Structure 1
Amino acid sequence: MKPSKTLFVICIALFTTAFTYAQQDFQGVAYYESKTTMDMDNFGGREMSPERKKMIMDRMKSFLEKSYTLTFNKTESTYKEEEQLEAPGQGRGFGGMMSSFTAGEQYKNVKSNQMLQEQEFFGKQFLIKDSLPKLAWKLTGETKQIGQYTCMKATAMKPVDQNDWRSMRRRGSDDDKKEDDNKDQAEKKTDTTQTASTNLLDEIEVPKEIEVTAWYTMQIPVNQGPGEYWGLPGLILEINADRTTILCSKIVLNPAEKEDIKVPSKGKEVTREEYSETVKKKMEEMREMYGGRGGRGGGRGGRGR
């Protein structure tokens, strides 16, 4: 039997088995671990000692490594972060700012093509309402095992939200030669701390799109997945997107105590575009604030005070 025919037979067998989960009150809970890597060297880390790097990464851990639960039925799901205690210092500075970019509880309804997300941003509560984002998934035919589930691979190009901190990087970070050439000139600046604060936001950029790889199982035939991901003929168990990996660690089907999948309702209702504009304005305010401080600091230095 040819490989393509073998794969087709496997798909049919898995899909047939999946109908055992087709009862009217079917529900499942999937547990995911998310991890985002960050290259400290692209954010001034080359001048830091290993101890300093480790201290910063420890403070950032709660934002780079997260645990989520996805509660789903045949048409709906809620995806929310599991609460965890913060280590000392994590709620301040850069870490405190990043917490305002962390997605709140998400609700997806594949039948009504609706996505709702509760989001707190700098003390204000929003309810982002939008249609489900659609990706042009390409099925590759590759398979692998995740736990007890046979998974298939799919890829897609995804537009990136310009406020998504997981894909933020330093502008021109790959141009190492240029950075080295400018190193001596940068070291001559008398107030490197203020310079870094002033320029950090200006130097950050986000790519317009990234490639996403998904692994889904037809043994659980629901059109769901972690976060904003969905649209495949089976539950998505793994996502690889830029520097972020989301991996399912446990699945409970038809739990003894079923959880009501509630539609979020807290916060000021806005569209995704309106929320992005709010974030953009806030970032511009912060850029002006830090720039103003840097300017005043430079003025004092010029007067010799």
Structure 2
Amino acid sequence: MKLIFTFLITFFFLSISAQSNFQGKATYMSKTSMDISRFGNKMSEQQKKQMMARFKNALEKTYTLNFNKIESSFKENVKLDAPGTSGPRWARSNGQGSVYKNLKEKEMIEDVEQFSKRFLIKEKMNQPKWQLGSESKKIGKYTAYKATLVKIDNTIDWASIFRRRGGENNKKKDSVSQNKKQKVTTKEIKTKLVTAWYTPQIPVSSGPADYWGLPGLILEINSGRTTMLCTEIIINPDEKVEIKKPKKGKEVTREEYTKIVNEKTEELKERFKNRRRGNRRGF
């Protein structure tokens, strides 16, 4: 396995040095499955279908990755919502978010708008601890190889804001242990297994979203309920690929951003809970 890894890395850097003007554009399709039961078990089949239709645009998206040998920019391709399919406001995208990566400077910047504020999440790129496998498959005309990674899960559980908790659900702590006397709440760090498929035929150590660090472009990512698949690649297009470094927004670290999101999410949960209580009392 070490011999295979050494060969791929060597091939990768030789390919890059031989193509100083190498650049390209890749299109990815993302699909996320949703557990409807999390919203309550009293929904009829018709209600479930209606909800899935409303969430369709939030669960199925397309993105464009512009890349060269050093930089890349990953951005959602936003389209107009069809009537009745826009979904809730918190699940929509304004099309301004992007993920910028600079392999030379080892800098990653995520441009995101959340809670009506624009953030620039800056973090140092530490080499991901990918486990390379020998399994391969064809994705389009490219031969892709399998790699896996255990990663910290920073996914926002938006559904938890609106989820009704009662009966047995109140007894479940869901990785949260509470000491009521000392009023201390400790959250365990959640992790997830990520499976990537990359191709050394495209010598760029980048990929969709914040994924990178493999000896070739990542063509497919499977993470939790979400799958991202590359559907089109254009190498050295006629027009120069434009890669912009995000500059507008409040600069924060990943830890600072996670803290802000957690605090705001708890506020929304409490607000929604109080609203339900008021409705039950006839307010």
How does the TM-score come out when normalised to structure 2? 0.81
Larger strand proportion of the pair: 2
Q: Which moved more, 1:101-110 or 1:132-141?
A: 101-110
Identity between Structure 1 and Structure 2 (%): 48
Give the structure 1 partner of residue 139 of structure 2.
Answer: 146
Q: Which moved more, 1:46-55 or 1:235-244?
A: 46-55
Judged with a 3 Å threshold, the aligned counterparts in structure 2 of structure 1 residues 165 and 254 are, in CA distance, closer, same or farther, namely: farther
Paired with 2:128 and 2:160, the residues of 1 have a C-alpha distance of 18
Paired with 1:17 and 1:210, the residues of 2 have a C-alpha distance of 30
Give the structure 1 partner of residue 18 of structure 2.
Answer: 22
Indicate conservation of the 8 Å contact 1:101/1:164, yes or no.
no
Work out which of the residue numbers 235, 241, 247 in structure 1 matches 2:229: 247
Work out which of the residue numbers 109, 119, 126 in structure 1 matches 2:119: 126
Question: Tell me, what secondary structure is at the counterpart of 1:47?
Answer: coil
Judged with a 3 Å threshold, the aligned counterparts in structure 2 of structure 1 residues 297 and 87 are, in CA distance, closer, same or farther, namely: same
Shift of 1:270: 1.3
Work out which of the residue numbers 56, 60, 66 in structure 1 matches 2:55: 60
Judged with a 3 Å threshold, the aligned counterparts in structure 2 of structure 1 residues 232 and 242 are, in CA distance, closer, same or farther, namely: same
Give the structure 1 partner of residue 176 of structure 2.
Answer: none
Work out which of the residue numbers 272, 275, 280 in structure 2 matches 1:293: 275
Give the structure 2 partner of residue 185 of structure 1.
Answer: none
Question: Tell me, what secondary structure is at the counterpart of 1:278?
Answer: helix
Q: Deviations over 1:67-94 (max 9, x none)?
A: 00100000110000001111334556xx
Work out which of the residue numbers 95, 111, 114 in structure 1 matches 2:107: 114
Judged with a 3 Å threshold, the aligned counterparts in structure 2 of structure 1 residues 166 and 158 are, in CA distance, closer, same or farther, namely: farther
Paired with 1:169 and 1:292, the residues of 2 have a C-alpha distance of 12
Paired with 1:217 and 1:236, the residues of 2 have a C-alpha distance of 7
Paired with 2:151 and 2:94, the residues of 1 have a C-alpha distance of 19
Q: Deviations over 1:20-62 (max 9, x none)?
A: 8832221011110000001212322x42222211111111011
Q: Deviations over 1:84-111 (max 9, x none)?
A: 111334556xx21123799911100111
Q: Deviations over 1:240-276 (max 9, x none)?
A: 1111100000110000001221111011111112222
Give the structure 2 partner of residue 51 of structure 1.
Answer: 46
Structure 2 portions without partners, runs of 5+: 172-186
Note if 1:42 corresponds to 2:38: yes
Paired with 2:256 and 2:35, the residues of 1 have a C-alpha distance of 31
User: How is 1:165-204 mapped onto 2 (pairs within 5 angstroms)?
Assistant: none
Q: Deviations over 1:110-148 (max 9, x none)?
A: 111111111111221111111225431111111111111
Indicate conservation of the 8 Å contact 1:160/1:210, yes or no.
yes
Shift of 1:284: 1.9
Judged with a 3 Å threshold, the aligned counterparts in structure 2 of structure 1 residues 166 and 78 are, in CA distance, closer, same or farther, namely: farther
Give the structure 2 partner of residue 225 of structure 1.
Answer: 207
Give the structure 2 partner of residue 214 of structure 1.
Answer: 196
Give the structure 2 partner of residue 104 of structure 1.
Answer: 97
Q: Which amino acid aligns with 1:244?
A: T
User: How is 1:61-76 mapped onto 2 (pairs within 5 angstroms)?
Assistant: 61-76=56-71
Q: Which moved more, 1:102-111 or 1:265-274?
A: 102-111
Judged with a 3 Å threshold, the aligned counterparts in structure 2 of structure 1 residues 167 and 26 are, in CA distance, closer, same or farther, namely: farther
Judged with a 3 Å threshold, the aligned counterparts in structure 2 of structure 1 residues 267 and 160 are, in CA distance, closer, same or farther, namely: same
Judged with a 3 Å threshold, the aligned counterparts in structure 2 of structure 1 residues 148 and 100 are, in CA distance, closer, same or farther, namely: closer
CA-atom RMSD, angstroms?
Answer: 3.5
Indicate conservation of the 8 Å contact 2:66/2:73, yes or no.
yes
Paired with 1:168 and 1:252, the residues of 2 have a C-alpha distance of 41
Paired with 1:167 and 1:110, the residues of 2 have a C-alpha distance of 36
Select the structure of larger CA radius of gyration: 1
Give the structure 1 partner of residue 241 of structure 2.
Answer: 259
Q: Which moved more, 1:284-293 or 1:244-253?
A: 284-293
How does the TM-score come out when normalised to structure 1? 0.76
Judged with a 3 Å threshold, the aligned counterparts in structure 2 of structure 1 residues 20 and 104 are, in CA distance, closer, same or farther, namely: closer
